[in-house]
Structure 1
Amino acid sequence: MFEITWSSFTRIVTVGFLAYIGLVFFLRISGKRTLTKLNAFDLVVTVALGSTLATILLNDKISLLEGLTAFGLLIGGQYIMTFLAVRSKTFNKFIKSEPKLLYLNGNFLEDAMKKERINKVEILQSIRNQGKGSLEEVQAVVLETDGSMSVIQGEPGNTLANVKSDKKI
């Protein structure tokens, strides 16, 4: 359980260092967009990259080249998906959800909350996380495409332009 052989230690250090360098190289050539978490798909890619790195490090049946190929496949797939999403509204709608208005001007939007499976306590928590002590300080709360909640102070303006709502904004 607490044993490690010299050869396994050497493999972990060597392959780990090279896999890390390979991952950094792939991330640099693929651009900043690869590690953003703008939606659920991006989060899955980020987690998969970490899982792949761990597998390369700890599974001696996986070669460095196989691991680097997996990195390339994940990053290449994400690049293709985002490339298509930027160029096709239909494809973009297929892979991404829309932000959803949950609270507006003192009113919790119950239908939207039920549809998104969000309760009032979670909205209040996100408001507190933004350092707000009162609902009077908040004009709107939006459930973003990445699952986070944006808390808006002041009059909601054009930042709500693409937010899906059953209420007139």
Structure 2
Amino acid sequence: MFFDSWNEIFRVLVMAGLAYPVLIAAVRVSGKRTLSKMNAFDLVVTVALGSTLATILLNRQVALWEGALALGSLVTLQFVTAWASVRFRSVRRLVKAEPTLLLHEGCLLHEAMRRQRVTPDEVCQAIRAQGTGALETVHAVVLETDGSFSVIPRSQYGSGSAMDNVPQRQTRHHGAGQQPVREPGDRQGPA
């Protein structure tokens, strides 16, 4: 259970010494984008590369050259997909998600949050992580294509040119799917 044989230990060490440089060479040849996490597709390729490397190291039935071919194939497919998505809008739409606006001008966009399976608590957590305590001081929260949140304070919104590729559905103040934000202790209606 804890130890099979010295031969297996030696095999893993040799395979690691040979497979790791193959992986490094493949990644260097394909460019920085191969290990980026710019979107879900990139993340899947990164995880697949790690899984393939582990299989090469631990599975006796996988020869080094088979593993090298698998690593090279993944890197090549990722490179071709990234290349095509830069040049062809249809490919880009197929492999990349759009960023999603979750909060606009201090109002939560509940329909967008439902579609993306994001809770108001998660949006608030992202805002607090940026050092902001009040939703009203935030112009926008965007769920990015890599799953991270971008929080844009009102004071830093500027011209909003970075928001050009974010669909602006239902962004009218208190429009459909939105709820005005109230601080705890605020009273609704006349006092």
Deviation by residue 1:109-156 (Cα, 9 ceiling, x = unmatched): 111111111110111111222232332442210011111111112225
SS in 2 for 1:57: helix
SS in 1 for 2:168: coil
Show the counterpart of 2:181: none
- 2:145 paired residue number: 145
Alignment of 1:1-169 (within 5 A): 1-153=1-153, 154-155=156-157, 157-168=160-171
Q: Distance between the aligned counterparts of 1:48 and 1:68, measured in 2?
A: 13
RMSD: 1.4
CA distance in 1, matches of 2:4, 2:85: 46
Partners of 1:158 and 1:167 in 2: CA distance: 18
Cα distance, 1:68 vs structure 2: 0.6
The alignment-based identity, stated in percent, is: 48
State the 1:168 CA deviation. Answer: 4.5
Extract unaligned runs of 5+ from structure 2. 173-191
User: Secondary structure, in 3 states, of the residue corresponding to 1:139?
Assistant: strand
User: Aligned equivalents of 2:129 and 2:67: distance in 1?
Assistant: 38
Q: Which runs of 4+ in 1 moved over 3 A?
A: none
Contact 2:140 2:151 in 1 (8 A): yes
Give the helix-richer structure, 1 or 2: 1
Q: Which amino acid aligns with 1:43?
A: L
Structure 1 distance, partners of 2:5, 2:51, is 23
Which residue identity lines up with residue 108 of structure 1 in the other structure? L
Alpha-carbon distance between aligned partners in 2 of 1:20 and 1:126, rounded to the nearest angstrom: 37
Report the alpha carbon displacement of residue 40 of structure 1 after superposing the two structures with TM. Answer: 0.6
SS at match of 2:73: helix
2: CA distance, partners of 1:63 / 1:131: 51
The residue matched to 2:48 in structure 1 has which SS?
helix
Distance 2:70 2:20 in 1: 13
Amino acid at match of 1:50: G
Under a length normalisation based on structure 1, what TM-score does the superposition of the two structures give? Answer: 0.94
Taking the aligned partners of 2:4 and 2:149, their CA distance within structure 1 comes to: 45
Question: How far does residue 94 in structure 1 lie from its aligned partner after superposition?
Answer: 1.4
Structure 2 residue identity aligned to 1:155: Y
Q: Take 1:45 and 1:158, find their aligned partners in 2: how far apart are those partners?
A: 31
| Alignment partners' CA distance in 2, 1:110 and 1:150 | 17
> For structure 1, which segment, 39-48 or 148-157, has the greater mean C-alpha deviation from structure 2 after superposition?
148-157
How many residues were matched structurally?
169
